[in-house]
Amino acid sequence: MLLRGKLRRSAAYAVILCCAVYLYYLAQHIEFEEVPGRVGPDAWPKIVLILLFATCVWQIGRIMIFGAPPAASADDELPLSAGEGDFTYLALLAIGVTVVYAYLLPILGFFVATVLYIAGIAYVGRYRRVVPLVLTSVIAPVALIFVFMKIVYVALPFGIGPFKDVTVVLLKVLGVH
């Protein structure tokens, strides 16, 4: 196996290894009043992190020395929701849309932000039928607001400024007080 391939397959374990080392460093600096002969609050995290460190070193060693087989090769995968191929860029786009949604939620309020989010995610998921998309994007948040605010009593974000006014009007229409 080429060194480049081995390095690529070791990358995830190397990242976890680095995190484990850093977290162990933090664990050594946990502040507490030590009681002689008694394990402190740093003991358990240190055990966990040492095991994590050792497991990553073991796996990286296996890959670098023996070229250990991958965790699961493509032909071992079950044909469950196999999809149509590799669309990693769409997944990254979906993450981006979700981050923007989380940021805008307190500003635009639940209704406006969710209309945009559903439309955005469905579009990222390659759905292109405009009328059903618009209808779903509007109806779904309204239904969720009704269920969560009227039945489950969860106060969803109202938004600020004009967006708050939109939410208030919608709540009045739905009979949510």
Partner 1 sequence: MDVLSSLGAGLLHVFAPQDLSMLVLGLVIGMAVSIMPGLGLVMGVVLALPFTYRMQIEPAIILLTAIYVSGTYAGCFTAILYRIPGEPMDVPLLWDGYSMTQRGEAAKALGWALVAALTGGLISSAVMVALAIPFSNAALRFGPPEYFAAVFFGFTSIAALAGKSFVNAFISLLIGLWIATIGVDQTYSAQRFTFGMPVLMGGLPYVVILVGMYGLGELISRIGRGLPKIEKPPDERAVGTSFPSLLEIWKIRATFIRSSILGTILGIVPGAGATITSFISYGIEKQYGKRRDQLGKGVPEGIVAPQIGSTASVAGHMIPLLTLGLPGSGATAVILGAFLLHGVQPGPLLFTSPDSKIVVYSILASLFVGVIGMCLMGFFWIKVVVKVLTIPQPVLVAIVMVFCVVGAYADRNSMNDVWIIVVFGVLGFLFERFRFPIAPMVLGVILGPLAESSFIQTMVSYNNDWTIFLRHPISGTLIGLSIVALAYPVVREIMGRKSKADGYVLRPTIGGES
Which candidate, 107, 122, 114, places its Cα nearest to that of 158?
107
The site that binds partner 1 (CB under 8 A) totals a number of residues, namely: 81
Between 156 and 170, whose beta carbon lies closer to partner 1?
A: 156
Write out the binding residues for partner 1, residues 81-120 only, by CB under 8 A. Answer: 81-88, 90-92, 94-95, 98-99, 101-102, 105-106, 110, 114, 117-120
Among 2, 3, 4, 32, binds partner 1 (CB under 8 A): 32
Distances (CA, A) of 81 to 84, 91, 158: 9, 15, 37
Q: Is 131 in the site for partner 1 (CB under 8 A)?
A: no
Between CA 177 and CA 175 the distance in angstroms is: 6
Write out the binding residues for partner 1, residues 158-177 only, by CB under 8 A. Answer: none
User: Which H or E element spans position 169?
Assistant: helix 162-174
Provide the token pair at 91: 């997944």
Q: Is 67 in the site for partner 1 (CB under 8 A)?
A: no
Between CA 68 and CA 10 the distance in angstroms is: 10
Among 2, 3, 65, 71, binds partner 1 (CB under 8 A): 71
Among 108, 112, 156, 170, binds partner 1 (CB under 8 A): 156
Between CA 125 and CA 90 the distance in angstroms is: 7
